[in-house]
Amino acid sequence: MHLHRIIAFAMIATSVSASISTSNHNLNGWYPCSEYTFSDEGSSIGQHAECAVYSAPLCYPGICETPEGVNPEVDVFVKRLPATTGSSSNASNVWLLQGGPGSSSTSLEAYMVMLHSQLEGTVNVYTMDHRGTGRSALLDCVAAQVTTTGSFFGAQIDPSEVQACAKDLEIKYGDLASFSVTTAATDLATFISKYTNGERTIVYGGSYGTIFAERLMHLAPPQVTGYVLDGVAATSGVRADDFFYISKWDTNFGEVGDAFLELCEYDSDCKARFQSGGPSKTLQGLIEQFDNDPTSTCAALVNGTQGLNTPSPSLGLRSVLGSALMNSYLRTFIPPVIYRLQRCSPQDYDVLAQFFTTIATTIQAKTQDSAFESALLYSLIVYSE
């Protein structure tokens, strides 16, 4: 079901909440701004959006305490497309929450424009950079400089850099519970209560955004009358064995990969290309072959792919096929690539080289909004929550 239909249904199914008084305390806005922040996300047709910055407390009561000498406030950036049909002051509201964690709202802007158009301008569409990302106190070790692209390990943090980065963050912020999911959800609940119109509000979250939205449910802002969870990552209430631990990522990903390869059994052309066990067994054989003979023709092809930068051919193969699996178009190439790697004839070489080069380029590609991402916030949340 399309996003706008899901949200429209949720809005119809919910009741209108009581209006609240609106305060402009600590709100710097609203200012006319472009629908798109970066040019590679889309072309703005004018300043039809509105932007604001909310000054939020670094620490909310019961979550953490602001140390002496630390700035007690952080900026939280919010963007909206006001309703153009009727009055925005009494229109319903829709919030789009980004995933990650650690990703800013910029990649949601095209969806905001699309949703606003498909709902014929009858709603106010909001998004925000959740704290720690983009324009909302981007979490970064500025003094320690360990996440710059020019640092030894680039944007990623090596264990040898953790001590300096942790000290930097402790001096600047104190308790990093100030960047927890609960704190970010409290930002949103506070903003909805104080700075929106009090009309019924639907909150949409995708991926990590579903965890963000679920935490908002716990805070229960009365203005929010419906939630849409897309690509659910929240697993509250389940048994510990079934909880979504990031340490199980490879195992969970492997199960999805196995299920995809098993679909070959239901396609006569695909099934005919492989012996008993299908592409899954063939792939396992290739991995073992690459490990045993890393200089063989196709192992060397994989290992020599520019930009792949993996320590062995088998890891390069896993990396490329894993990236392809996450793309609905590229994943269709996985069985043919496995077949050609097994055959590894001269007629396969150019095709395989093109495939691996294309995927490696995709893996390495950076968009403008990557400057607004925080690898630190990602690690903080996924490994602590």
Q: What's the topology of domain 3-241? A: Rossmann fold (3.40.50)
For residue 309, the tally of other CB atoms under 10 A from its CB is 11
With a cut of 70, say whether residue 131 has pLDDT above it: yes
Question: What DSSP character marks residue 133?
Answer: B
Cβ atoms of 81 and 94 closer than 8 Å:
no
With a cut of 60, say whether residue 312 has pLDDT above it: yes
Average pLDDT across the chain, whole number? 88
Q: How much is the pLDDT for 51?
A: 97
What is the location of CATH 3.40.50 in the chain? 3-241
pTM across the whole model: 0.80
Using alpha carbons, list the distances in angstroms from residue 177 to 7, 247, 379, 382, 385.
32, 21, 13, 13, 11
Q: How confident is the model at residue 248 (pLDDT cuts 50, 70, 90)?
A: confident
Q: How much is the pLDDT for 7?
A: 60
For residue 83, the tally of other CB atoms under 10 A from its CB is 23
With a cut of 50, say whether residue 23 has pLDDT above it: no
With a cut of 50, say whether residue 347 has pLDDT above it: yes
Q: How much is the pLDDT for 201?
A: 97
- Cα gap 185→274, rounded to integer Å: 50
Question: What is the identity of the amino acid at 32?
Answer: P
Q: Is 92 helix (H, G, I), strand (E, B) or coil?
A: strand
